[in-house]
Amino acid sequence: MNEPVTSWTVLVPVRGAGRGKSRFPAAVGGVARHRWVTAFATDTIAAIRRSERVDRIVVVLSAPYPDLAAQLTACDATGVAPASFVLADNVEGLNESIIAASGSVAAPLAVFLGDLPSLTVADVSRTLIAADAVGRAVVPDAQGRGTVAIAATTGALTPRFGAASLAAHLAAGYVRLAASERVRRDVDTLADLRAALGLGVGAATAALADRAGL
Domain membership flag for residue 42 = yes
Beta bridge partners of 147: 140
> For residue 208, how many other CB atoms are within 10 A of its CB?
22
Domain count, the chain: 1
pLDDT of residue 119: 98
Eight-class DSSP state of 86: E
3 assigned to some structural domain: no
Instruction: Judge whether 55 and 8 are in contact, CB under 8 Å.
Output: yes
The answer to whether residue 78 is domain-embedded is yes
Looking at the domain assignment, is residue 46 inside a domain? yes
| Share of the chain residues as helix, strand and coil, in percent rounded to the nearest 5 | 40, 20, 45
pTM of the model: 0.91
The pLDDT tens digits along the chain (214 residues) read 456 666 899 999 987 655 667 788 889 999 999 899 999 999 999 999 999 999 999 998 877 777 777 777 666 554 567 677 787 766 778 999 999 888 878 889 999 999 999 999 999 999 999 999 999 999 999 999 999 999 999 988 999 998 899 999 999 999 999 999 999 999 999 999 999 999 999 999 999 999 999 8
What stretch of H or E contains 71? helix 66-75
CATH number of the domain enclosing 118? 3.90.550.10
* Domain assignment of residue 102, yes or no: yes
In a domain, 142, yes or no: yes
DSSP state of 28: E
Is residue 166 one of the residues assigned to a domain? yes
Residue ranges making up the domain that contains 157: 8-208
